[in-house]
Structure 1
């Protein structure tokens, strides 16, 4: 994490810790999570839009969800607010993506005095190698949700935690998970069908940053390169890397550069102009680190992934 961001987080924590700790009480005296009283919803804090969507699908009407990171906000550069600390301090369960995506979360949890359950949804997911040039990404590639089969594992981790924290609704959580898992299987099957119809030599992908590794592996795409040559959006493209990327786009016959909804498209547009290819952006921008606006189809995980697949197939096959 960059020094300025780390300093900002510490400043927020210092200002809010005293008042938040005084209001805490999310767990039992033995450190275990307290079940909600009869008729009350399980209080859950979810970090990213993707994780929050999994929580809503598994939890249904039984959970009250506070989502920390809003749509189209870059999670790599996120800084927690006093409201975030207060929400965590009064929650029963905190659900995170894991794999270093929420670099700010541990100290925020400590500041909130949270003593409930923390769910790391990445547990059980086979991780891609991290970024060797970024020690904070060395744990692995954090963009695990871009493979729907990983999303199933993430949702199952949430289901197990909810059953343990709120046993009175255990059967409901289990049923919600089974129903959602079936939808994720259907999404994966549709993605596979769409890419199978695209000739292998046209499945070449250039994106804003290296966020689609699990997606590329799952659907047998060729990763040509990224505008930001890192899994973390704070990295910058050097002049030599820019020249190399332009040359690679031309040499491979790549048709397009895909911008992302949570990142500015200017660099992608500049590279596309030099390489003589189109930029896919605006309403067609991919959802790499975020979901769309709440209430839209792309505001859900499944809707965003369907959008990504349809956009990529249309642009590369056209």
Structure 2
């Protein structure tokens, strides 16, 4: 992953950070603490932000750092991000090492509130699909070990339920007067997550096991693959993040594996360019699924669309995958 300060002079960045942090420290004790004011929350990723909105409802004001279709593995915070963090009462992150930039940004912003790690309690997958572990073997690891684990935890709705429970606890601790409302919202949203999970299971139950083979842009769907008993054949980018590149041998091997396994399609992702996936699909003689049907691997859709929510994006993914593999 790329450095937080890539392409910028350290001295000039430090001046910006110090100035913004000072502004944040002053506003944090002002309007946000007024009676009846919404709880100011910064959420890092689109998925986490959507979870906060569902649990917090009208009682929270959410600032989402990473916008739709922006690669979270290659993100660099802006002065506006630092200002928002400095003014917030709560920062909610995905965790598992996804936000490498966050700790340094929090320090620079002079943030004095609570940080909620939504991944706490999630059983983590080790990096790569060839290093799975038995159920219950691996509980949440310390943050410093995050890079060894798959951070795309939200692709299993059962993990999403753990994430929103952590978020509810964090919001209630920061604003006890609204704890009942947060708990009620959590209960209602939990039912929607259960329905999503059940609908996904029903959809894949109609797909023969021999057809449940998945090739994607990068290795983002491990928890989804495990949950719905798919076979991960490979990815265009051979990594959990998006910084790696496919070597000539890996490309040849992936094409051969696609042919040997009878995989029917390669799925592109909304936040990644499709060119390499299209090239591999052409060589392998399979269709490439992209455009409006691209999967939401690291992101959600645009605000105001069904896919702009976690529930809508995951429903989209399942519908697209099942339709393409059943064809």
Q: What TM-score range do you get, normalising by the shorter chain?
A: over 0.9
Q: Distance in 1 between matches of 2:27 and 2:123?
A: 32
Secondary structure (helix, strand or coil) at the match of 1:102 reads: coil
**Cross-structure match for 2:136:** none
The two structures have a TM-score, normalised by structure 2, of: 0.91
Q: CA deviation at 1:310?
A: 0.2
**Cross-structure match for 1:95:** 92
1:158 aligns with 2:167: yes
Secondary structure (helix, strand or coil) at the match of 2:120 reads: coil
**Cross-structure match for 1:282:** 291
2:105 to 104, 108, 116: 108
Q: CA deviation at 1:130?
A: 2.2
Query: What CA RMSD, in Å, does the superposition of the two structures yield over aligned residues?
Result: 2.0
Secondary structure (helix, strand or coil) at the match of 2:123 reads: coil
The 3 A distance-change label for structure 1 pair 50 and 109 is same
2:276 to 267, 270, 277: 267
Q: CA deviation at 1:136?
A: 8.2
8 Å contact 1:13–1:108 — kept in the other structure? no
Secondary structure (helix, strand or coil) at the match of 1:207 reads: strand
**Cross-structure match for 1:42:** 39
**Cross-structure match for 2:263:** 254
Q: Distance in 1 between matches of 2:101 and 2:169?
A: 25
Q: Distance in 2 between matches of 1:5 and 1:274?
A: 39
Secondary structure (helix, strand or coil) at the match of 2:111 reads: coil
Q: Distance in 1 between matches of 2:12 and 2:290?
A: 35
**Cross-structure match for 2:65:** 68
The 3 A distance-change label for structure 1 pair 12 and 224 is farther
**Cross-structure match for 1:126:** 123
Unaligned segments of structure 2, at least 5 residues: 131-143
**Cross-structure match for 1:2:** 2
1:168 aligns with 2:185: no
8 Å contact 2:4–2:76 — kept in the other structure? no
Q: Distance in 2 between matches of 1:164 and 1:35?
A: 16
The Cα offsets for residues 83-121 of structure 1, whole Å up to 9 and x where unpaired, read as 000000010000000011101011000000001000000
2:251 to 242, 247, 250: 242
The 3 A distance-change label for structure 1 pair 79 and 183 is same
The 3 A distance-change label for structure 1 pair 4 and 173 is closer
The Cα offsets for residues 21-75 of structure 1, whole Å up to 9 and x where unpaired, read as 32215778xxxxx984321000000000000000000000000010000000000
Q: Distance in 1 between matches of 2:196 and 2:21?
A: 42
8 Å contact 2:85–2:91 — kept in the other structure? yes
Which residues in structure 2 correspond to 1:161-200 (within 5 Å)? 161-200=170-209
8 Å contact 2:4–2:77 — kept in the other structure? no
8 Å contact 1:227–1:267 — kept in the other structure? yes
8 Å contact 1:204–1:224 — kept in the other structure? yes
**Residues matched between the structures, number:** 311
Secondary structure (helix, strand or coil) at the match of 2:148 reads: coil
Q: CA deviation at 1:182?
A: 0.5
Q: Distance in 1 between matches of 2:108 and 2:44?
A: 16
**Cross-structure match for 2:21:** 21
1:305 to 308, 314, 317: 314
Secondary structure (helix, strand or coil) at the match of 1:138 reads: helix
Q: Distance in 2 between matches of 1:200 and 1:13?
A: 53
The 3 A distance-change label for structure 1 pair 213 and 9 is farther
The 3 A distance-change label for structure 1 pair 161 and 25 is farther
1:230 aligns with 2:239: yes
Q: Distance in 2 between matches of 1:4 and 1:60?
A: 32
**Cross-structure match for 2:141:** none
